[in-house]
Amino acid sequence: MVVKLRDAALAYKTLNGIVCIYKPPGVPVRRVQQTIITNLCRDLNALPDRPQEKRIEIVGATNAPMTVKLVPNYADDPLICGPRYIQDDFRCSWATHLGLFTSGVLLLGINDGTRLTYHINVARPTRAYKVHGQLGKATDTYFWNGKTVERSTFSHVTREKIDRIVAHMQLAHQKTMFELSGLHMDSQATYEVASQGLIRPANSKLPVIYGLKCVHFDPPNFTLEVQAVNEYDKYLWTLVHDLGIQLKTSAYCTGLQCIRQGKFDLELALLRKHWKIEYLIDNMDRCRQILEENETLLKPKSAQLSV
């Protein structure tokens, strides 16, 4: 699966595109970026590269035949001018920012791939999250790192109750989706758009939730699966908090994991131990294939939600 690289220059040239990374929780995105670029430099410098340049020296008196010598060029020696590949040689950007405590799929663009990340971000593909929550306690930040502000009983919560409320929340969000489309609610145009299915929001400001489902319920712990656009970590935390209130108890978020971004899912994501050049190039290839197969990922043709 993973090919062996033979030439550093060739490897560097292929490093243009996006990679799909598994971001561990508790590590900021910036640090992930930094680590990956440092690793790339380390691996590239370890690969065999072009031979060192020679310097031609013509010596001797100008009126007599002069001798031509080849001497090693110190200006090309890695011991003098430093390693051949340094961190400044790489540009790197993310498609969507994940919060500090969020783990999961992170799309990073490397070199020319930075443009792709921009297009992906603008195209607003849906992202799927697993939101882990716990009943019976509320914190001031709505997350496990906050101070406890409330405790309550939760024995009355059953699977049916949680399902009902979750379905209700999903419905409310789908209604806002049409309100955000900019169309008049009572018009024929809205009817035609709505009859075809879900649509993506017109701007990037307001979070919209398309699907909300409770996938695991084992009191006090539960897990929600959320498909959304324009969401951010704190918004999903408050979702758990709201759910707790509607269940007539309290709840806080214990973990957040992004399991899908557009067509890029967990299966593709590279674990921390695999952040090495061979794996990254292989991953970049697979990401490129996905982008070629799904053109709508970069340039959505209609407002219709396809991914």
Partner 1 sequence: MDLPSKKKAYSQKYRPEWENMDEFKGNQEIPFKVVPKDHSYRHCDESEGALTLFIAEHCSILSVDHLGELCKMCFKDSKATQELKLHRTKCTEIMKNVLMPHFRKELLDDIGNQKFSIIMDKSADVSVSKHLGLVIRYYSAPQENIKQNNALQTTSEDLSTLLHLNVNLSKIEKKPFVAEKILKLNFEEEDTKGILMFIKDYVGVEDIGNFLTKNPLILFETVEDLKIRVNYLESKKFKNESIRRIITQNPFWLMFSTIRIDKRLGYYQEKFKLCGSEVRHLATKQPNLITYNLHHIQTNSFVIKEEMGFNDNEVKQLILKKPKLWMISQNSLLERFNYVHNIMKIPHEKVLHYPNILLCRNFKVKQRHIFLEKLGRAQYDTTKENYVPLSALVEDTDQDFCKRYAKCLVDDFNTFLKTM
Binding-site ranges for partner 1 (CB under 8 A)? 22, 24-26, 55, 73-75, 77-83, 103, 257, 266, 269, 271-273
**Least distance in Å: CB of 126 to partner 1?**
20
Distance from C-alpha of 163 to C-alpha of 243, rounded to nearest angstrom: 11
**Least distance in Å: CB of 195 to partner 1?**
38
Instruction: Rank residues 41 and 157 by Cβ distance to partner 1 and give the closer one.
Output: 41
Number of helices and strands in the chain (H, E): 8, 12
Instruction: Rank residues 40 and 259 by Cβ distance to partner 1 and give the closer one.
Output: 259
Instruction: Rank residues 23 and 241 by Cβ distance to partner 1 and give the closer one.
Output: 23
Distance from C-alpha of 284 to C-alpha of 196, rounded to nearest angstrom: 34
Question: DSSP 3-state assignment of 211?
Answer: strand
Instruction: Rank residues 149 and 215 by Cβ distance to partner 1 and give the closer one.
Output: 215
Crossing angle (nearest 10°) for helices 29-46 and 277-293 = 120
Instruction: Rank residues 38 and 73 by Cβ distance to partner 1 and give the closer one.
Output: 73
**Least distance in Å: CB of 60 to partner 1?**
17
Cis previous bond, 220, omega within 30: yes
Instruction: Rank residues 77 and 179 by Cβ distance to partner 1 and give the closer one.
Output: 77
Helices (H), 125-196: 159-180, 188-196
DSSP letters for 213-225: EEEEEETTEEEEE
**Least distance in Å: CB of 79 to partner 1?**
5
Distance from C-alpha of 281 to C-alpha of 71, rounded to nearest angstrom: 37
**Least distance in Å: CB of 249 to partner 1?**
26
**Least distance in Å: CB of 68 to partner 1?**
16
**Least distance in Å: CB of 172 to partner 1?**
30
Q: Supply 83's token pair.
A: 């390693």
**Among candidates 165, 162, 171, which has minimal Cα distance to 222?**
162
**Among candidates 302, 282, 306, 289, which has minimal Cα distance to 4?**
282
Instruction: Rank residues 123 and 266 by Cβ distance to partner 1 and give the closer one.
Output: 266
